[in-house]
Amino acid sequence: GAPAQVVAISRGPTITQFGVEPLFLESRGGVRTRVRVSKIASLADDLALALAAPRIRIQAPVPGHSYVGIEVPNDEMSRVALRDILEGEVFKNFRKPLAFALGRDVAGLPSIASIESMPHLLIAGTTGSGKSVCVNSILTCMLLYHTPDDLRVVLVDPKRVELTGYNGVPHLLGPVVVEMERVIGALQWITREMDKRYHLFAQAGSRNIVDYNAKMKLQGQKKLPFLMIVIDELADLMMIAPEETERTITRLAQLARATGIHMILATQRPSVDVVTGLIKANFPARIAFAVASNTDSRVILDQPGAERLLGRGDMLYQSPDAPAPVRLQGVFVSDGEIHKLVDYWRDQAGNTNPYVAAGGAPRETIPDNVPLKQAPLWEETKKINGDPLFDDAVAIVRKEGKGSVSMLQRRLRIGYTRASRLMDTMEDKKIVGPPEGATQMRQVLDYGDVPPPQGGESK
């Protein structure tokens, strides 16, 4: 056997950690030897069976303690609300730039990080493990605390579902990039922006962006915003152009910190051909959500463990300055919260912030002599005068012959405020009539080029 005693218990949102101290084994000769830590660690699967727990992770030993941590899933996971952390003392006293709430640890304490000090973040995990929720929570924190003067964002989302909802937010340097062919162009533009910033720093005699902005403030000049690039699915990019992607990302990663440029990469395929050694070496801050195997875990964290995570926001966070990864339950941000924030910024961009041109791309950040290849990235901005979903909304009501706010909410997966604004715009443009009856259904008045739906005039 392996005698041991429980000396500490901490209950977190997802797991409870039992701190177990090894006891002594007495051999026939009366010699007492301590149970080996590795012996306890090897019992993970037996313990899981005995407790009927899906997965148990054993941390041997827990850093900073003289015990082994046995992490047992709670029967019910409690959600970690973003707001509670943001309103707490820990966050308020956290002074680093580009701060965001990551989650809560096994003792329930909030964990806060700063992209600025990372300076780049790599996120991996299988589908459904919580990558997108994590990326959204980071973006939410950024949009909550930064104006477009402080922070600019470039979003890349080949799946077109996770990040396209941010279109129209004035922090975006261009519409969310959904076509892979344009990504390299966008990355190259950022590389040039980085070179440009180095130039500016040299002229001003500054070492980095903080230094430079402090100088500019003294002289009453404009400061440079931080620039954040988020790529949701690195694998897609590595498939199309592995060498170029690796080269550009590495170069950016190595030189970007001083210029205030930060990257967040997410992937569901943590294999060595996606997360290459070169990319890894430049991304010291990493988050592993649940992965399929300990090989995957090793690719991201350089050690096993992530294969024992439970999914849905259960993560191991390796901070660049910590000796070992920490287990956290990630914060959860609802779609509703994101919509509210996005709507708020869209309103700001449309009405009150003259600094931002229509569609959210400030003129001076659009490169002067963009090569043809990447021009479309910026061209698209013009269309987003108002809501980028407007055309889709029109197409839907025309196809149905009628429409209501709740129908738009459902079909476009958007919030009430946004759907009703789309509907009002359509009414203004005389595409639909006023709402009628209890269902608030509206008749289509203008079908454009679309033939009215079969079955004639809807009743």
Q: What residues make contact with ligand ADP under the rule CB under 6 A?
A: 79, 125, 127-133, 312-313, 330-332
Closest separation between CB of residue 185 and ligand ADP, Å?
25
Strands 442-443 and 402-403: antiparallel
User: CA 398, CA 353: separation in Å to the nearest integer?
Assistant: 34
Cα-flanking dihedrals φ and ψ of residue 214, to 5°? -60, -45
Q: Is the peptide bond before 73 cis (omega within 30 degrees of 0)?
A: no
User: How many other β-carbons are positioned within 10 Å of the β-carbon of residue 457?
Assistant: 9
Nearer to ligand ADP, 81 or 366 (CB): 81
Instruction: Please tell me whether residue 391 adopts helix, strand or coil conformation.
Output: helix
Q: Is 288 in contact with 125 (CB distance < 8 Å)?
A: yes
Nearer to Mg ion, 123 or 209 (CB): 123
Closest separation between CB of residue 42 and ligand ADP, Å?
30
User: CA 57, CA 294: separation in Å to the nearest integer?
Assistant: 12
Nearer to Mg ion, 162 or 193 (CB): 162
Nearer to ligand ADP, 126 or 381 (CB): 126
User: CA 157, CA 267: separation in Å to the nearest integer?
Assistant: 11
Nearer to ligand ADP, 157 or 193 (CB): 157
Nearer to Mg ion, 137 or 381 (CB): 137
User: How many other β-carbons are positioned within 10 Å of the β-carbon of residue 428?
Assistant: 9
Q: Could you say which of Mg ion, ligand ADP, none residue 319 binds, taking C-beta under 5 to 8 angstroms by partner kind?
A: none
Closest separation between CB of residue 128 and ligand ADP, Å?
4
Q: How many residues bind Mg ion (CB under 5 A)?
A: 2
Nearer to ligand ADP, 91 or 355 (CB): 91
Q: Could you say which of ligand ADP, Mg ion, none residue 378 binds, taking C-beta under 5 to 8 angstroms by partner kind?
A: none
- Does residue number 111 form part of the binding site for Mg ion (CB under 5 A)? no
- Does residue number 132 form part of the binding site for Mg ion (CB under 5 A)? yes
User: CA 240, CA 242: separation in Å to the nearest integer?
Assistant: 6
Q: Which stretch binds Mg ion (CB under 5 A): 62-70, 126-134, 271-279, 290-298?
A: 126-134
Give per-residue burial for 294-308: e unless 16+ CB within 10 Å, then b: eebbbbbbeeebbbb
Tell me the CA end-to-end span of the chain in Å, nearest whole number.
Answer: 78
Q: What is the CA radius of gyration of the chain?
A: 26
User: CA 322, CA 250: separation in Å to the nearest integer?
Assistant: 22
Nearer to ligand ADP, 331 or 397 (CB): 331
Q: Is 326 in contact with 26 (CB distance < 8 Å)?
A: no
Closest separation between CB of residue 298 and Mg ion, Å?
22
Q: Is 444 in contact with 407 (CB distance < 8 Å)?
A: no
User: How many other β-carbons are positioned within 10 Å of the β-carbon of residue 436?
Assistant: 12
Q: Which of positions 295-354 make contact with Mg ion (CB under 5 A)?
A: none
Closest separation between CB of residue 299 and ligand ADP, Å?
16
Closest separation between CB of residue 444 and ligand ADP, Å?
34
User: CA 345, CA 59: separation in Å to the nearest integer?
Assistant: 44
Closest separation between CB of residue 162 and ligand ADP, Å?
7
Instruction: Please tell me whether residue 148 adopts helix, strand or coil conformation.
Output: coil
Q: Which stretch binds Mg ion (CB under 5 A): 83-91, 130-138, 204-212, 297-305?
A: 130-138
With tokens 């790529």, the residue in question is 231
Q: Which stretch binds Mg ion (CB under 5 A): 23-31, 37-45, 128-136, 375-383?
A: 128-136
Q: Could you say which of ligand ADP, Mg ion, none residue 313 binds, taking C-beta under 5 to 8 angstroms by partner kind?
A: ligand ADP
Nearer to ligand ADP, 159 or 410 (CB): 159
Structure tokens belonging to residue 158: 């080949």
Nearer to ligand ADP, 263 or 405 (CB): 263
Q: Could you say which of Mg ion, ligand ADP, none residue 264 binds, taking C-beta under 5 to 8 angstroms by partner kind?
A: none
Closest separation between CB of residue 242 and Mg ion, Å?
22
Tell me the residue number closest to ligand ADP, measured at CB.
Answer: 313
User: CA 384, CA 352: separation in Å to the nearest integer?
Assistant: 17
Closest separation between CB of residue 100 and ligand ADP, Å?
13
Closest separation between CB of residue 13 and ligand ADP, Å?
8
* Contact residues for 91 (Cβ-Cβ < 8 A; gap 6+): 85, 99, 101, 110, 112
Q: Could you say which of ligand ADP, Mg ion, none residue 411 binds, taking C-beta under 5 to 8 angstroms by partner kind?
A: none
Summarize as ranges the residues that interact with Mg ion (CB under 5 A): 131-132
